Structure 1
Amino acid sequence: MGELAALFAPGRVAVVGATDREGSVGRAIMENLLADYDGEVVPVNPKRETVFDRPCVASVADADADLAVVVVPPSVAVDVVREAGEAGVEAVVVITAGFGETGSDGAAREDELTSVAAEHDLNLVGPNSLGVLSTRRGMNATFGPENARPGNLSFMSQSGAFITAVLDWANDQGIGFKDVVSLGNKAVLDEADFVREWGADPETDVIIGYLEGIEDGRAFIDTAREVTQDTPVVLVKSGRTEAGAQAASSHTGTLAGSEQAYEAGLDQAGVLRADSVQGLFDAARVLESQPMPDSGDVAVITNAGGPGVMSTDAVGDSRLAMASFTEETLDTFSETLPAEGNIYNPVDIVGDADNERFRQALDVALADDNVGCALVLSCPTAVLDYEGLARDTVELQREHDKPVAACFMGGERVDAAAEVLGDAGIPNYFDPARAIEGLDALVRFKEISTREYDAPTEFDVDREAAEAVLARAVERDDPRLGVEAMDLLDAYGIPTPQGGIATDPTDALELAEEIDGDVVMKIVSPDILHKSDIGGVKVGVPNEEVYDAYEDLVTRARNYQPDAEILGVQVQEIVDLNAGVETIVGMNRDPQFGPLVMFGLGGIFVEVLEDTTFRVAPVSGEEAREMTGEIDAAPLLRGARGRDPVDVAAVAETIERLSQLVTDFPAILELDINPLVATPDGAQAIDVRLTVDTDAMERDSQETTLVDTEPDQ
């Protein structure tokens, strides 16, 4: 075991609040521990001499325990944890509720609990936890009604009730576990800690979990990326709806809800995300027991045409592909299968197939070098012995060492066969689609385990210039910045058209005269977001009309919104939008994952088409290039319908540079570059708007000033 050995394999467990009173949590935990645990259980209760005939001690300090399970009222729980820390206890599970989940008083109590744990370097689970169990030593330190079967899955859950239901179901299904943790409020130990612990544990084959949220998204990504090079992590994450999304004013903020952050973050972490509890265990069972495939090319051997077609449809919805057999395999099938059968994939060996025909067909398919994995799909007939077919399937899977899933359809007659398959680590599914999803999980994990993660590029940028631009929001006491912040992009090497902000007609004319040709003029106001809607944009203005155009734009803005703050008029060189593709690059700061970078089809259609993709920053060069190929409009970038391909490398570099910008400045809450016009010759940011946390900027400025003025030591 690793750092959490005292939690999962303690030699001595103290139950603080132990009792034998009927219906109490303290009694349930004592009973569960005394049932199978091979270590010593010490009841702690100053009001009792014995509990279940075991001598009580008055304090956890007297228990000499490795692990303390705390089941006392919240008003005294913090003191008990402090005593445990002072006594040298290494791990604590706080079952007690009444902390952060109950309001401000509970939150304050939880903060104190966290501080005490930090002071004494305690590995603390909870509070508000069902408990922990581990089959390593038969330890069930929960108040659930079921213990776990031994196995090699380690399972964490934010819902204690979910654990009790899963254990009841898993025992019926013959599924076993190594460790199970009810995370509770995650005051100290969270999901990243357990992923790290189990990833280093040779006895844990697959890590699974049910999560409602992730405390520190960036830390979780970094931890899981390393772990998933060797150990699969499969999670169900609840809360997919937009109700959890932040209210936001930018395009990116509107489109980037919490679900997008989790989807991007979990993918970058290498986590397999299941859509359901059934999917969670379907994936876990095949990952736990089957070898990695050489390819995702699957052979389907079946005695039923209809289910065979169903499996083919399921393959089309997955990363798998129907294997193309070699000529040698096709010749063998032609010689051995009935004429009315189908020698191509899916291989239909016909409804009258006996065990020998099934065995022979599966053997031929698995021997084909073009086959990476196989599905044995059967419906019951009078001439087919399911249990015998199961034994043949197990034997051939071991002989060829390729992953196999089984779909023996039926009721009671499947039970004995399913037991034979299960004992050999071959999962059996009633639904062909579930079997394909199981094999798909193997292929997805192989891709994850062979990923190479590049470090983000560190570009040479002008941070001081960028900070000066952001400081304008503090000076104006307005968190919104628009095109007046184009210098921010220049500071980070993001190309922008030639131009600037004029504060009077004369300035506008001087700027226009520095630009070759006619210009674009736009009103600059943080209060007017959609400038074109009010006639706040003029395109193709010659020099002789610039003066009057300036005054006309300001007048229109005043008439539209008399109280709008007018910062001036932007004068900019004309960029031919028809010569390229309008894209958008943006960022929204997620509470858990931090800066969430977006790329997609831009211009006026961004929120209509919602053709976007996301990554958690910092974004590497490889990830940025992947983003440019993930949107539906990607063919436009590659040169669809006779158009010249755009400079995708320039677009990807812009994504990287924006990623660095928003990572460097946590005070940037939202940012849109829209449009970023991608052409064959590069990419240019035409417009920008962002929201700044002015309080954070002011604090950072004060801290910097303080550091700069401190005398040398």
Structure 2
Amino acid sequence: MADRDRDLSGLFSPDRVAVVGATEREGSVGRAVTANLLAEFAGEVIPVNPGRESVLGVPCVASVADADADLVVVAVPPSAVADVLRDTGEAGVRDVVVLTAGFGEAGSEGAARERELRELAAEYDLNLVGPNSLGVMSSPAGLNATFGPDASPAGGVSFMSQSGAFVTAVVDWASESGLGFNEVVSLGNKAVLDETDFLREWGADPETDVVVGYLESIEDGRAFVETAREVTRETPVVVVKSGRTEAGAQAASSHTGAIAGSDRAYGTALAEAGVVRADTVQELFDAARAFAAGRNLATDGVAVVTNAGGPGVMATDAVGDADRLSLASFADDTLDALDAALPAEANVYNPVDVVGDADVDRFEAALEAAISDPNVGAVVLITAPTATLAFGDLAESAVALGEEHEVPVAACLMGGPRLADARGTFGEAGVPTYFDPARAVAGLDTLAEYDERRGRERREFEPFDVDRERARETLSAVTERRDNQLGVEAMDVLDAYGIPTPEGEVVEDPAKARAVAERIGEPVALKLVSPDVVHKSDIGGVRVGVDPADVADAYEDLVTRLRNYQPDARLLGVQVQELVDVDAGVETIVGSHRDPQFGPLVLFGLGGIFVEVLSDATFRLAPVAEADAREMTGEIDAAPLLRGARGREPVDLDGVVEAVGRLSQLVADFPAIVELDVNPLVATPDGVRAVDLRLTVNPEELQ
């Protein structure tokens, strides 16, 4: 893991770059990166090759020690890379990019070589990119230290990618799309520097307007989230995360684990970090172009101005489908201005249809009226080719009006070569252009999403007074098991953390069961306690409303059912528990699943027997602040049940919120808890009760 406070600017602004492995051999990485550097780099390029006097007309040196370089780019065979890093460290150079493949991605031998690189980087305090990297680019420095075919066009987007091929494709596409880059890095295997390091670097870079990333994994999830929370206060961050499968859920033994999955963790973490997540490459760069324009939405109201009725309706539908946008209602002054400027057959209400024969003056008048309206936060301008419209002139007017009023404009140019001049004008001004109206609206919705997240107050978790040692003692019972499962016999861990539970006890014979029931003094619930039976109700392992006088017989009946169902199942006893009136409240679930990258993920949702079928749940990273826990109670589809539906009395939401917070503290305090379900957590107007519990515990983490 890299030192998160290190300065990485030397990777992008060197004066002298040494290329180790520079050569003139056609098709080689060493030749390609040397040629790219010589093409535009304003500094000095030093080829390093002891077997040649010069490369591409530039004199060679024999080793890094002779190069006096600020940045070293390595393109030698895998077996020679470690020696180059050692020479680099001895020469006092800190910044190095390893292009060579054949490391962690190439089996056990490659993984061993990669460990050696990490050790050398730590020994010499190297800022190491790669290995298996395409390289780095910096438009301000004219630096193309990659073996890709093209340099990136200049702009305000800084871009990181785990795929080198993706970098080359995006750079090629960007040259025609009007999107430009400030700095680009191909992360490669991330042996030392990773996405969090570059996120921190670019967050402090005034030349970076937006950070864009293609990621296949995040090495240190918690560090990434903490860094992104700070960066996104000022700089938008957009990420597409590949690998969205739920393979991680296949081994889950709890409801929460089955619902969570790896992709759910990434989505939750990125949202909490303020990062905008794109689902596709198209969405990623549509968002990048929207942010690169540098304008925010003052309101969520969108005006649509079009010369084509059908596309105008499509844009209107897209606004209706958007998460954070609405179709603006025009003020009376706006309607009067539109009525005066447009012919009778035009539509002055939003969406504004200027009619197919509109010229630039009519279009401009409608656009100015709409963009001036106080209820309009953004404008979607839609044009289809007509003989009456000079599209280049319209683009100039739209750019000027957007700049004058500081309102974002998304231009939907529904045509081909006829609209090339307009595309060029919009592109030079940083106004994003699209063919599909839905994409234009989606770009604006992304701006609104970022504004919403950036304006969100940072919430700190306030710890509860709990009994950690009592909880640890209860969890330690797993060390005496042949598996790592605990059930209702571990309810004491909830009591230790202040989560209310019904009165009850796990007993091992019928007489004790009756004694506990008589102490409770009213009909009780009986539940089999067996680590080999996940769903007790499936085998009739639960009895509800048993009179104390009948408890002993009910105990025997439950044990018989278990033996008939699974003769070799382990029986730890039967839980005798005070009845909780489920009908008087709502069955919810609160749980946790520990993600390898981001740590414990806390779930809250509709509980009971249909939890996995309905999957009505929401997630946060632990620990969960009070305000976030309260938001969770409103995010599920069943939220109206909690607040009182069809004449029912509202449940004790404060009790629910506190239970979520306390459980989140429990799983944050104990990394040993891999999975946890409290299902149901019954919420009534009088409070909450945790009725059932299931835990998966890693005994090694308890030490």
User: Same fold by TM-score, threshold 0.5 exceeded?
Assistant: yes
Structure 2 residue aligned with 1:131: 135
Structure 2 residue aligned with 1:54: 58
Task: Read off the aligned partner of 1:638 and give its amino acid letter.
Answer: R
CA distance in 2, matches of 1:415, 1:477: 70
Report 1:440-589 matches (<5 A): 440-589=445-594
2:178–2:430: 8 Å Cα contact kept in structure 1? Answer: no
1:646 CA displacement: 1.2
Matched, 1:358 2:358: no
Matched, 1:313 2:317: yes
Structure 2 residue aligned with 1:705: none
CA distance in 2, matches of 1:244, 1:136: 42
Matched, 1:66 2:70: yes
Structure 1 residue aligned with 2:28: 24
1:244 CA displacement: 5.2
Task: Read off the aligned partner of 1:324 and give its amino acid letter.
Answer: S
1:509 CA displacement: 2.2
2:377 aligned to which of 372, 377, 400: 372
1:340-381 deviation per Cα after TM superposition (whole angstroms, max 9, x unaligned)? 221211011212211111111111111111111111112121
2:191 aligned to which of 167, 173, 187: 187
Task: Read off the aligned partner of 1:36 and give its amino acid letter.
Answer: E
Task: Read off the aligned partner of 2:94 and give its amino acid letter.
Answer: E
Matched, 1:419 2:424: yes
Question: Which region of structure 1 is more displaced relative to structure 2, 667-676 or 617-626?
Answer: 617-626
CA distance in 1, matches of 2:176, 2:333: 44
1:311–1:432: 8 Å Cα contact kept in structure 2? Answer: yes
CA distance in 2, matches of 1:527, 1:656: 30
1:290–1:426: 8 Å Cα contact kept in structure 2? Answer: no
1:2 CA displacement: 7.7
Task: Read off the aligned partner of 2:436 and give its amino acid letter.
Answer: D
1:501 CA displacement: 1.0
1:674 aligned counterpart, secondary structure = strand
1:695 aligned to which of 690, 694, 700: 700
1:526 CA displacement: 0.5
2:234 aligned to which of 230, 233, 237: 230
Report 1:92-107 matches (<5 A): 92-107=96-111
1:633 CA displacement: 1.2
2:178–2:428: 8 Å Cα contact kept in structure 1? Answer: no
Gap change, CA 1:447 and 1:347, over 3 Å in 2: same
CA distance in 2, matches of 1:132, 1:206: 17
CA distance in 1, matches of 2:508, 2:248: 41
Structure 2 residue aligned with 1:711: none
1:263-309 deviation per Cα after TM superposition (whole angstroms, max 9, x unaligned)? 11111111111122221111111211141111110111111111110
1:558-580 deviation per Cα after TM superposition (whole angstroms, max 9, x unaligned)? 22212111111111100011111
Matched, 1:211 2:215: yes
1:456-491 deviation per Cα after TM superposition (whole angstroms, max 9, x unaligned)? 121111110111111100022320000011001111
2:590 aligned counterpart, secondary structure = strand
1:656 aligned to which of 650, 658, 661: 661
Report 1:104-119 matches (<5 A): 104-119=108-123
CA distance in 2, matches of 1:478, 1:274: 40
CA distance in 2, matches of 1:382, 1:625: 57
Gap change, CA 1:246 and 1:205, over 3 Å in 2: farther
Structure 1 residue aligned with 2:615: 610
Matched, 1:287 2:296: no
1:245 CA displacement: 4.1
Matched, 1:140 2:144: yes
Structure 1 residue aligned with 2:44: 40
Structure 2 residue aligned with 1:707: none
Matched, 1:8 2:12: yes
Question: Which region of structure 1 is more displaced relative to structure 2, 407-416 or 617-626?
Answer: 617-626
Matched, 1:302 2:306: yes
Structure 2 residue aligned with 1:392: 397
1:148-185 deviation per Cα after TM superposition (whole angstroms, max 9, x unaligned)? 11111100101100111111111122321111100001
CA distance in 1, matches of 2:272, 2:441: 24
CA distance in 1, matches of 2:142, 2:24: 21
Structure 2 residue aligned with 1:710: none
Structure 1 residue aligned with 2:176: 172
1:161 aligned to which of 162, 165, 185: 165
CA distance in 1, matches of 2:409, 2:151: 30
Gap change, CA 1:245 and 1:95, over 3 Å in 2: farther
CA distance in 2, matches of 1:102, 1:696: 31
CA distance in 1, matches of 2:363, 2:57: 60
Structure 1 residue aligned with 2:635: 630
1:298–1:371: 8 Å Cα contact kept in structure 2? Answer: yes
1:647–1:683: 8 Å Cα contact kept in structure 2? Answer: yes
CA distance in 2, matches of 1:123, 1:13: 15
Gap change, CA 1:2 and 1:465, over 3 Å in 2: closer
CA distance in 1, matches of 2:248, 2:618: 19
Task: Read off the aligned partner of 2:576 and give its amino acid letter.
Answer: V
1:19 aligned counterpart, secondary structure = coil
CA distance in 2, matches of 1:382, 1:22: 52
Structure 1 residue aligned with 2:645: 640
2:403 aligned counterpart, secondary structure = helix
Question: Over aligned residue pairs, what C-alpha RMSD do you find?
Answer: 1.4
Question: Which region of structure 1 is more displaced relative to structure 2, 77-86 or 240-249?
Answer: 240-249
1:669-708 deviation per Cα after TM superposition (whole angstroms, max 9, x unaligned)? 11111011111122111000011112332xx2xxxxxxxx
CA distance in 2, matches of 1:452, 1:109: 45
Task: Read off the aligned partner of 1:528 and give its amino acid letter.
Answer: V
Question: Which region of structure 1 is more displaced relative to structure 2, 274-283 or 145-154?
Answer: 274-283
1:241 CA displacement: 2.6
2:137 aligned counterpart, secondary structure = strand
Matched, 1:346 2:336: no
1:478–1:694: 8 Å Cα contact kept in structure 2? Answer: no
1:290–1:404: 8 Å Cα contact kept in structure 2? Answer: no
CA distance in 2, matches of 1:293, 1:146: 35
Task: Read off the aligned partner of 1:177 and give its amino acid letter.
Answer: F
Task: Read off the aligned partner of 1:282 and give its amino acid letter.
Answer: D
1:2–1:200: 8 Å Cα contact kept in structure 2? Answer: no
- Segments of 5+ residues of structure 1 without an aligned counterpart are 701-713
Matched, 1:670 2:675: yes
2:14–2:43: 8 Å Cα contact kept in structure 1? Answer: yes
1:604 aligned counterpart, secondary structure = coil
Matched, 1:277 2:274: no
CA distance in 1, matches of 2:364, 2:269: 44
1:94-119 deviation per Cα after TM superposition (whole angstroms, max 9, x unaligned)? 11111111111211221121121112
Question: Which region of structure 1 is more displaced relative to structure 2, 516-525 or 504-513?
Answer: 504-513
1:2–1:201: 8 Å Cα contact kept in structure 2? Answer: no
Task: Read off the aligned partner of 1:16 and give its amino acid letter.
Answer: V
TM-score normalised according to structure 1 size: 0.96
Structure 2 residue aligned with 1:262: 266
1:406 aligned to which of 407, 411, 417: 411
